Amino acid sequence: MPQTLLLPRWLLAMKAGEETLENHALLIDGERIAAVGPREALLAQYPQATRVELPEQILIPGLINGHAHSAMTLLRGVADDVPLMDWLQNHIWPLEKKWVSEEWTYLGSKLAAAEGLRSGTTYINDMYFFPTAMARAAVDSGVRAAVSMNVIDFPTGYASGPDDYIAKGIAAYEQYKGEKLLDWTSAPHAPYTVSDETFIKLRDLAEKLDIQMHCHIHETAGEVEDGIKAHGVRPIARLDKLGLFSGRMIAVHMVHLDEAEIELMARKGVHLVHNPNSNLKLASGVMPLKALETAGVNTILGTDGAASNNRLDMFGEIRSAALLAKGITGDPTVATARTALEMATIRAAKAMGRGDDLGSLEVGKLADVVAVSLDSLECQPVYNAAAQLVYVAGREQVSNVWVGGRQVLRDRQPTTIDVPALLAEVRDVVGRMQATA
Listed residues 351, 380, 413: the one ending a domain: 351
pLDDT of res. 61:
98
Domain assignment present for 31: yes
Report the candidate in 203, 198, 207 with the shortest Cα–Cα distance to residue 162: 198
Average of pLDDT values for 308-325? 97
What is the rounded end-to-end Cα distance, in angstroms, of the chain?
49
Q: Give the span between the Cα atoms of 217 and 252, in whole angstroms.
A: 6
Domain of residue 24, CATH code: 2.30.40.10
| Contact by Cβ (8 Å): 407, 368 | no
pLDDT of res. 93:
87
Residue 35 half-sphere exposure, CB side, CA atoms within 13 Å?
19
Average of pLDDT values for 151-166? 95
pLDDT of res. 1:
66
pLDDT of res. 371:
98
Q: Which domain holds residue 134?
A: 63-351
Backbone angles phi, psi at 328, to 5 degrees: -70, -40
Does the pLDDT value for residue 28 go beyond 80? yes
- Strand, helix or coil at 70? helix
Q: Do 123 and 252 lie in a common domain?
A: yes
Query: Band of the pLDDT at 205, cuts 50, 70, 90?
Result: very high
| Contact by Cβ (8 Å): 124, 91 | no
The H or E element spanning position 61 is strand 50-61
Q: Which stretch of 84-93, 192-201, 219-228, 410-419 has the lowest confidence by average pLDDT?
A: 84-93
Q: Do 50 and 92 lie in a common domain?
A: no
| Contact by Cβ (8 Å): 400, 54 | yes
Domain of residue 248, CATH code: 3.20.20.140
Q: Do 345 and 262 lie in a common domain?
A: yes
Does the pLDDT value for residue 84 go beyond 90? no
Domain assignment present for 428: no
pLDDT of res. 282:
92
Q: Do 247 and 315 lie in a common domain?
A: yes
Q: Do 115 and 191 lie in a common domain?
A: yes
Q: Do 28 and 113 lie in a common domain?
A: no
Please give the single-letter amino acid code of residue 132. T
Backbone angles phi, psi at 65, to 5 degrees: -85, 105
Average of pLDDT values for 2-16? 96
| Contact by Cβ (8 Å): 12, 58 | yes
What are 116-157's pLDDT values in tens digits? 999 999 999 999 999 999 999 999 999 999 999 999 999 998
| Contact by Cβ (8 Å): 187, 162 | no
Q: Give the span between the Cα atoms of 109 and 140, in whole angstroms.
A: 11
Q: Do 344 and 297 lie in a common domain?
A: yes
Residue 186 neighbours by CB under 8 Å, 6+ apart:
148, 149, 169, 202, 203, 205, 206, 209, 211, 212, 213, 214
Does the pLDDT value for residue 5 go beyond 80? yes
Beta strands in 62-177 (DSSP E): 63-68, 121-126, 144-151
Domain assignment present for 294: yes
Query: Band of the pLDDT at 234, cuts 50, 70, 90?
Result: very high
Q: Do 54 and 95 lie in a common domain?
A: no
Q: Do 182 and 114 lie in a common domain?
A: yes
Average of pLDDT values for 356-379? 98
pLDDT of res. 436:
83
Query: Band of the pLDDT at 83, cuts 50, 70, 90?
Result: confident
Q: Do 73 and 170 lie in a common domain?
A: yes
Average of pLDDT values for 392-405? 98
Total structural domains within the chain: 2
Residue 12 neighbours by CB under 8 Å, 6+ apart:
20, 21, 58, 59, 60, 341, 361, 385, 386, 389
Q: Do 212 and 323 lie in a common domain?
A: yes
The fraction of the chain above a pLDDT of 90, given in percent, is 95
Does the pLDDT value for residue 225 go beyond 70? yes
Q: Give the span between the Cα atoms of 239 and 85, in whole angstroms.
A: 21
pLDDT of res. 295:
98
Domain assignment present for 437: no
pLDDT of res. 2:
83
